Amino acid sequence: MDGHLAVAVHAHGHQCDIGSMHGTRSGNPGLIVCGFTHGLTTKGVLSRVLWSPTWRGSHAPMEMRKIGSLDVSVVGLGTNNFGFFMQAGAVPPVVDAAIEEGINFFDTADSYLDSEVRLGQALGRRRDHVVIATKFGSPVGEDGTGGAHPDYVRHAVERSLRALGTDRIDLYQLHRPDPETHIADTLGVLDELVAEGKVREIGCSNFSIAQLREAEAAVGPDDARFVSLQNHFNLLERGDETEVLPECVATGVAYLPFFPLASGLLSGKYVRGQAPPDGTRLAIWGDASLTDENFDVLDALTAWAEARKHTLLDLAFAWLAATPGVASVIAGATNAHQIRLNARAGSWVLTPNERAEVSQLVAR
């Protein structure tokens, strides 16, 4: 599968751009075999890779970032819609569109009903060319089994491997803390799964700064450790900005914001004074967030984006992507058009000053 890669490197402390290089994606997901079109000394350290598969046509290349050893697209696809809100036949066109747009990072969970099965089937033989993240720990099934006990983790990973139709999980995440299980015990079995090749990297979700530090203190120097944290974060929900995000940056933990569009509030689909459209998340889950205060913020954000010939959705992605520590913005989508909008939004790069200016619009 031939592609085209544009890179920027840091050499001797100075950033220098290399025009382009051509590469081939190998059978090892996340691995790029490449040859430079211009010379580069071995002292240059690759800092950023832009992957533009040939099927992206004239689109700008998709930026790639790191989660541990994994190379992931800055725009990812969250797939809880696959299990909760979509028919099985509607899933493959969304996955196809994501891959066509250069998205290689797919995030799911064993608690998202049939999401894992549908994702695995839609990927088919393309599995080796993408990065699959899934989660365990939330209640699953009629009996509500979940948690992070080692015995359960071993059962859960085998179930996810079967559902996804794969022999390894690229990023295996603890969906939520388990107060009944010592984190050291959970990390111990996860380390075994990495050693066995069933899992490549491990991460966590819904963790506080104290829980992150407890997990880091529980591992030895050669043990598998959490390389990612997936928490609730967006322009309207910024609780992690004070402590958690700086901790992630300091420790090299990749940050993955979930609900990046605030259940659609930052997509522009909701109108002040009107009921949410049928079938939308806020119509199903309740519209408590459709307040005048929130709409005042949305109006300010929309005006700022439109003055720069962008949309509110573009800004929601760009602001997150410009946040230090963020590896991928994993928004959901239920159709190919939404995928294309998300991918386009991921190409807008805000300067630090622009991000700070936007942050002031939502300060409250």
How many angstroms separate the CA atoms of 138 and 144, rounded?
Answer: 8
Reply yes or no on whether 112 is catalytic: yes
**Is the separation of the CB atoms in 99 and 86 below 8 Å?**
no
Residue 40 lies in a domain: yes
Computed over every residue of the chain, the mean pLDDT equals 86
How many angstroms separate the CA atoms of 249 and 251, rounded?
Answer: 6
129 and 16 within one domain: no
259 and 347 within one domain: yes
Sheet strand arrangement including 14-25: 32-36, 14-25, 2-11, 45-53, 62-67, 70-73
Percent of the chain with pLDDT over 70: 82
Residue 150 lies in a domain: yes
- pLDDT at site 298: 95
Domain containing residue 272: 70-362
Tokens of 17: 């751009």
Residue 62 lies in a domain: no
Band the pLDDT of 287: cuts 50, 70, 90.
low
**CA neighbours closer than 13 Å in the CB half-sphere of residue 25:** 20
Residue 254 lies in a domain: yes
- Tell me the whole-structure pTM to 2 decimals: 0.84
Residues 256-278 have pLDDT tens digits of 999 999 988 999 888 888 887 87
Band the pLDDT of 2: cuts 50, 70, 90.
very low
Backbone angles phi, psi at 135, to 5 degrees: -135, 155
Neighbours of 331 (CB within 10 A): 29
- Integer CA distances (angstroms), 339 to 70, 103, 130, 325, in order: 22, 9, 16, 23
14 and 81 within one domain: no
**Is the separation of the CB atoms in 219 and 187 below 8 Å?**
yes
Residue 65 lies in a domain: no
Number of domains in the chain: 2
Q: Identify the weakest region by mean pLDDT among 50-54, 122-126, 157-161, 320-324.
A: 50-54
144 and 32 within one domain: no
Q: Is the pLDDT of residue 362 over 60?
A: yes
User: Pick from 12, 29, 57: which residue ends a domain?
Assistant: 57
Higher pLDDT, 85 or 1: 85
105 and 138 within one domain: yes
Given the residues 112, 152, 172, 255, select the one marked as catalytic: 112
CATH number for the domain including 276?
A: 3.20.20.100
82 and 39 within one domain: no
Q: Is the pLDDT of residue 48 over 80?
A: no
Higher pLDDT, 56 or 180: 180
153 and 234 within one domain: yes
How many angstroms separate the CA atoms of 133 and 254, rounded?
Answer: 13
43 and 190 within one domain: no
50 and 108 within one domain: no
Q: Is 27 exposed, middle or buried (0-12, 13-18, 19+ CB in 10 A)?
A: exposed
- pLDDT at site 39: 31
Q: At what angle do helices 150-164 and 115-123 cross, to 10 degrees?
A: 40
How many angstroms separate the CA atoms of 260 and 257, rounded?
Answer: 6
How many angstroms separate the CA atoms of 263 and 280, rounded?
Answer: 8
Nearest by Cα to 89 from 125, 122, 130: 122
107 and 214 within one domain: yes
Q: Is the pLDDT of residue 47 over 80?
A: no
78 and 53 within one domain: no
